[in-house]
Structure 1
Amino acid sequence: MSWILFGLLAGITLGFYDYWTKKAMTGNGVFPVVFWSSMFGAFAWLPFFTPFTSSSSFHVDIGITSWHSQALILVKGLMMTASWLFAYFSVRELPLSFSGAVRASGPIWTFIGGAIVFGDYLTPIQLTAVLASVFAYYLLSQIGKSEGISALKSLPMAMMLVATVLSAMTTVYDKYIVQTVGLASAEIQAWSAIHRFLIAGLLLALFCFKTRTYQRLVWSIWIPLTGLSWVVAEWIYFLAIADPAANVTYLSIFRRTSLVVGFLLSVTLIGERNVMRKSIVIALIVASTATLVLQG
């Protein structure tokens, strides 16, 4: 059951990450924020490459990681960076409740991947809980119509859908390289953070070179908090998937609790509309998540 607790804790941390991302993106371009937040995430792992952390379980020996392992980790970095680019644009343009609603399809994509790769099939009750959660997010997205947001015509909604699919693919891939390939979770996280920083830097340089402009960046504390909170959430998440009993479909649902945290922060500090209607739908999400925990 410990992997369930870690999964829920990762979801809570991601709720703060979503809120801080929203604040970091206000008035800023996507490429600079992805680059600078990735830089702080990479810097958080740098001490664990040094001899001073050799006695720590999170120490990463530079000489041990093979080129094959680096290639496998690079795939993860590419998928995550692409997901961030799409998601950050969406989060900047949409209220947190709506960008979170698009993530409703995340468990479905993860379920498909988990079923194909790992045989993580669900019982009827568990499948009902998954579908209830997905349906709740769908209802939440429908509320957007009263706020002038059309799910079928909104580019930010479409970009969040792409980000969600990429995130689901990364979830399944993480379990594969940890449990099937056998890479150490600290090795994956540390090198992936470095890869994402380098990829984001390359993309920012290419964008500036092609457009002959530099996207605006208004510096704030939210930018480093975005990068650091992702590192913390990922670290907790890897504690969950390191457990052979971990079910990636459950973890995808648990990570959706980030919407609850992000929504509460948005209501309190930003000012969400239709709070009561959205609260009822989010209560359904919490109930479906609780059902999965009890069934676990």
Structure 2
Amino acid sequence: MWIVFGITAGLILGLYDFWTKKSMDGNDVISIVFFSSFFGMAAWGLVLTLGAGNTLSPVDLLNLGYEHQLLIAVKSMAMTLSWILAYYAVKALPMSFSGAVRASGPLWTMAGGVLIFGEYLTVTQFFLIFASIAAYYALSQIGKKEGIDALKSKPVMMMLAATIFSAATTVYDKYLVQSIGLTAASIQINSAIQRFLIALVIFYFYKKHLKIKTNTTWSLYIPLVGISWVVAEYVYFLAIVQADSNVTYLSVFRRMSLVLGFILSAIFIGEKYLKQKTIIILVLVLSTVALILERH
């Protein structure tokens, strides 16, 4: 079942990426971060209400000590910062670019292993990394035709930073579950509440102190962003807590978000240079999947 959960989480994240892009039409980033955090918290509130008296009892899930709340707060702050950076990037970039940068996580993990821990690369790993770098270079050349200079683009750098923060929270989740002993549900519900409070403070400061006017253009995509993230996270935790689950393979399944997001963008938003980007996206996905599996 953990394989099914992993694939499902990847597909939901693809929808999340697409709905995030659509929710940005006519809206500012901070407003979307605030409202998506609110609807994410509200979704968990509904789950707790329906599950009252069962294993999802609010008393059990919310009754954590200050130490555990502070540990979860680290995750919540990192996730909120990741969202802000990612949403700015998603708003400014075609989904082929933002999704491709988001999918580069395993490459940075391997690069860290080489630089920090002195790990050696096999010939196959070197070839796959070279293929991925070549694909990103090809994508950057297409980007120049769309007015995007990947090396100088602030949105690209924002998405890269968001990807690093997101990867860090994934590792931190494993630490909270396996080393600290917190349950997946308690982490998620408390983090959802904390993320809303953090987003509320940022939203208030954004409007009152910076005096930036926010006129939100309402659409169904706004609540879908917050709810889809909560659902994807919940399904992913269903996979990761199973004793026989393999985090390496789960990271592969999450790459499916790039494919689904790109397909939806091509159909409903109208990506340019579709044929060239399709080939590049396939090279990125296949090389990344092969790299992770070969490393394992």
What is the TM-score with the length of structure 1 in the denominator?
Answer: 0.87
- The amino acid across from 1:200 in the alignment is A
Q: 1:287 to 1:204 in 2, by over 3 A?
A: same
In the other structure, the counterpart of 1:273 is 272
In the other structure, the counterpart of 1:7 is 6
Identity %: 53
- 1:40 Cα deviation after fit: 0.5
**Contact kept? 2:5, 2:236, Cα under 8 Å:** yes
Q: 1:165 to 1:291 in 2, by over 3 A?
A: closer
Within-5 A mapping of 1:189-200:
189-200=188-199
Within-5 A mapping of 1:256-267:
256-267=255-266
**Contact kept? 1:110, 1:171, Cα under 8 Å:** no
- The amino acid across from 1:159 in the alignment is M
In the other structure, the counterpart of 1:91 is 90
RMSD of equivalent CA atoms? 3.0
In the other structure, the counterpart of 2:179 is 180
In the other structure, the counterpart of 1:228 is 227
Q: 1:247 to 1:12 in 2, by over 3 A?
A: same
Within-5 A mapping of 1:73-92:
73-92=72-91
Unaligned runs of 5+ in 2: none
Question: Separation in 1 of the partners of 2:247 and 2:120?
Answer: 10
Question: Separation in 2 of the partners of 1:293 and 1:159?
Answer: 24
In the other structure, the counterpart of 1:145 is 144
Q: 1:289 to 1:64 in 2, by over 3 A?
A: same
- 1:48 Cα deviation after fit: 3.9
**Contact kept? 1:104, 1:133, Cα under 8 Å:** no
- The amino acid across from 2:40 in the alignment is G
**Contact kept? 1:107, 1:130, Cα under 8 Å:** no
Within-5 A mapping of 1:200-215:
200-215=199-214
Q: 1:135 to 1:75 in 2, by over 3 A?
A: farther
Question: Separation in 2 of the partners of 1:113 and 1:176?
Answer: 19
In the other structure, the counterpart of 1:23 is 22
- The amino acid across from 2:43 in the alignment is A
- 1:11 Cα deviation after fit: 1.4
Question: Separation in 1 of the partners of 2:221 and 2:16?
Answer: 9
- The amino acid across from 1:163 in the alignment is A
Q: 1:221 to 1:275 in 2, by over 3 A?
A: same
The 3-state SS of whatever aligns with 2:104 is helix
Within-5 A mapping of 1:11-160:
11-50=10-49, 52-56=51-55, 58-60=56-58, 61-62=60-61, 64-111=63-110, 132=131, 136-160=135-159
Question: Separation in 1 of the partners of 2:177 and 2:106?
Answer: 20
Q: 1:122 to 1:205 in 2, by over 3 A?
A: farther
Question: Separation in 1 of the partners of 2:9 and 2:138?
Answer: 24
- The amino acid across from 1:177 in the alignment is L
Question: Separation in 2 of the partners of 1:266 and 1:294?
Answer: 28
- The amino acid across from 1:267 in the alignment is A
**Contact kept? 2:102, 2:163, Cα under 8 Å:** yes
- The amino acid across from 1:53 in the alignment is A
The superposition leaves residues 231-255 of structure 1 with CA deviations (integer Å, 9 ceiling, x where unpaired) of 1111111122213554545433432
In the other structure, the counterpart of 2:167 is 168
- The amino acid across from 1:156 in the alignment is P
What is the TM-score with the length of structure 2 in the denominator?
Answer: 0.87
The superposition leaves residues 44-74 of structure 1 with CA deviations (integer Å, 9 ceiling, x where unpaired) of 1113444853224x44425632221111111
Question: Separation in 2 of the partners of 1:122 and 1:232?
Answer: 36
- 1:180 Cα deviation after fit: 1.5
**Contact kept? 2:12, 2:228, Cα under 8 Å:** yes
Unaligned runs of 5+ in 1: none
Question: Separation in 1 of the partners of 2:74 and 2:112?
Answer: 16
The 3-state SS of whatever aligns with 1:53 is coil
Aligned length: 292
In the other structure, the counterpart of 1:219 is 218
Question: Separation in 2 of the partners of 1:281 and 1:247?
Answer: 27
Question: Separation in 1 of the partners of 2:215 and 2:267?
Answer: 28
The superposition leaves residues 213-232 of structure 1 with CA deviations (integer Å, 9 ceiling, x where unpaired) of 33231111100011111011
**Contact kept? 1:83, 1:167, Cα under 8 Å:** yes
